[in-house]
Amino acid sequence: MEYRKMGKTGLELSVLSFGSWVTFHKQIDDSIADELMGIAYDNGVNFFDNAEVYALGESEKMMGRILKKKNWERSSYVVSSKAFFGTKTGNTAKPNQKGLSRKHLVEACNEALQRLQVDYLDLYYCHRPDKSTPIAEVVWTMNHLIQQGKVLYWGTSEWSGVEIMQAHAIAKEYKLIGPTVEQPQYNLFERNKVENEYLQIFKNEGLGTTIWSPLAAGLLTGKYNEGIPTDSRLAIQGFDWLKERWMSDDKIAKVKSLALLAKELNVTLPALSIAWCISNPNVTTAILGATKVQQLTDNLKALEVVPLLTKEVVEKIESIMQTKPKLADF
């Protein structure tokens, strides 16, 4: 396993990590999750990603039960939570049970600690920007949680470059601890934030990234080429938005062409797609999700594919995808 510093921090994360979004509680039970986390850990994965909203808190409870059972040294792994969406469905959330107010961030942190059965969160993210809460309130609150020892590092997820820089400006003005990591979506289809919008932040602030959906919700596995399997995440009730986002003839055609290139290289399409993500030096870690042992072990082989990404191969990928962001001329 390769380990990378998270931005300018001293924290080292495995370049491949393991997440629970969609899978935990919804697709797999404790026994399978236990086995998958064990395989990940034994292969050098040291970062396990979670959030309050995943299965409305049940995902964190499941991971907490497994962490307690595994009894790994606490210093040997990194675990995260994220706050914004809350754990209530629809209109059942009362005021302050979602968003980034000081009240919700503090209470969501305390609840995540209980669910995960840990004394502190290594990483704590603002899961989305909150237009109704001043960024200064967020920065002060996160700094407070770090001072209390409940959080070690804080970050953002799907924030704009401008919002992240505002948080840094406030942190510098008041000598507080600013965000050190962002969790953006990044894959062969979704590239603008990591390859364009955040470039100046990488350069000036040394932002780490823990990217999600490196396989574009499974599209880059090729399993949706002939339709939607009944046991896949796009078939899960409530995930129609995911299906609408990814299922198109144009995208499927690109995936099929990419699969032919993977075959030429004698590697799997998922491993090629993940390897492409982590070949970007601004990616600290790519979060993997899995429901089966074979999926996880195959995806962990992405490390072996990175050396195959020669200039010629990357050019072939770009020719197929046609998704490279156009950078602004300065």
Tokens read off for 151: 């959080």
Is 54 annotated in the active site?
yes
Q: What is the pLDDT of residue 225?
A: 75
Nearest to 136 by CA among 184, 99, 100: 100
- List Cβ neighbours of 167 (8 Å cut-off, separation of 6 or more): 135, 138, 139, 156, 159, 178, 179
Q: What is the pLDDT of residue 244?
A: 65
Taking the C-alpha atoms of residue 161 and residue 84, their distance in angstroms, rounded to an integer, is 18
Within 10 A of 35 (CB to CB), how many other CB atoms are there? Answer: 15
Taking the C-alpha atoms of residue 283 and residue 126, their distance in angstroms, rounded to an integer, is 19
Q: What is the pLDDT tens value at each position of the chain, 330 positions in all? A: 999 999 999 999 999 999 987 666 677 789 899 999 999 999 999 999 999 999 999 999 999 999 999 999 999 999 999 999 999 887 888 899 999 999 999 999 999 999 999 999 999 999 999 999 999 999 999 999 999 999 999 999 999 999 999 999 999 999 999 999 999 999 999 999 999 999 999 999 999 999 999 999 889 998 877 666 666 556 566 666 555 666 678 898 999 999 999 999 999 999 999 999 999 999 999 999 988 999 999 999 999 999 999 999 999 999 999 999 987 665
pLDDT tens per residue, range 73-106? 999 999 999 999 999 887 888 899 999 999 999 9
In this structure, are residues 177 and 142 in contact, taking their beta carbons and an 8 Å threshold? yes
Taking the C-alpha atoms of residue 246 and residue 264, their distance in angstroms, rounded to an integer, is 25
Give the Cα-Cα-Cα angle 71, 117, 238 (nearest 5 degrees). 110
Q: What is the pLDDT of residue 245?
A: 66
Taking the C-alpha atoms of residue 167 and residue 104, their distance in angstroms, rounded to an integer, is 18
In this structure, are residues 100 and 86 in contact, taking their beta carbons and an 8 Å threshold? no
In this structure, are residues 210 and 13 in contact, taking their beta carbons and an 8 Å threshold? yes
Tokens read off for 262: 């993977």
In this structure, are residues 123 and 153 in contact, taking their beta carbons and an 8 Å threshold? yes
CATH topology assigned to domain 3-221+270-312: TIM Barrel (3.20.20)
Per the document, the length of the chain is 330
Q: Where are the domains of the chain?
A: 3-221+270-312
DSSP type of residue 207: -
Q: Of 54, 124, 186, 198, which is the active-site residue?
A: 54
